[in-house]
């Protein structure tokens, strides 16, 4: 009888970890599913203001155009003509990701149009120009 009592006490002393484990697993699955590895451009730009801008979903590639006309993608400065090849390579990793071009307010629109043209040729599912809320 005494042995049985001791056994019962020991069982009650152990904390039931099951609910915490359930939560941990759900969090793990959430973070795995939402994990999007965004290719940052590597250049901080001043975005032009716009009122009709929409939140961009499924962004996977960021391309920056600096005020001096330099083009940055995937943390490297690249030539305008090699943007297409770079976007194609990154799209192969994430075919559903869209492209956002971060053009500096003072950048020339000719470079921006060249980058847009290259992105279009690469076959990106969506292209947008990054803006800031007024």
Rule CB under 8 A: which residues touch another protein? 3, 7, 21, 24-25, 27-28, 31-32, 34-38, 48-56, 59, 62, 65, 100, 102-113, 116, 120, 126-133
Cα separation values, 103 from 3, 5, 7, 112, 120, Å = 76, 74, 70, 7, 16
CB of 101 to another protein, least distance (A): 8
The Cα–Cα gap between 64 and 30 comes to 30
> Which tokens sit at 5?
């009592």
Nearer to another protein, 62 or 86 (CB): 62
Q: At how many degrees (to 10) do helices 109-122 and 83-93 cross? A: 40
Min separation Cβ 34 and another protein, Å: 7
Q: How far is the CB of 102 from another protein (least distance, A)?
A: 8
Residue carrying structure tokens 């559903």? 96
Residue with smaller CB distance to another protein, 86 or 97:
97
100 closest CA partner among 68, 127, 118, 132: 127
Residue number, 2 or 92, with CB nearest to another protein: 2
Per the listing, tokens 């290719």 go with 39
Q: How far apart are the first and last CA of the chain?
A: 77
Given the complex with another protein, which of 72 and 131 has the nearer CB atom? 131
Minimum distance of another protein from residue 12's CB (angstroms):
16
């Amino acid at each position: 009888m005494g042995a049985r009592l001791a056994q019962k006490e020991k069982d009650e002393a152990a904390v039931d970890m099951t609910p915490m484990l359930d939560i941990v697993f759900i969090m793990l699955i959430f973070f795995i599913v939402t994990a999007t590895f965004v290719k940052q451009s590597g250049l901080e730009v001043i975005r032009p203001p716009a009122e009709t801008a929409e939140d961009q979903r499924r962004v996977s590639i960021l391309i920056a155009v600096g005020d001096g006309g330099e083009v940055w993608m995937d943390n490297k400065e690249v030539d305008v003509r090699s943007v297409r090849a770079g976007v194609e390579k990154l799209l192969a990793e994430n075919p559903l990701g869209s492209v956002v071009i971060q053009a500096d307010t003072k950048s020339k629109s000719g470079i921006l149009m060249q980058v847009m043209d290259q992105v279009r040729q690469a076959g990106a599912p969506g292209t947008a120009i990054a803006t800031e809320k007024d």
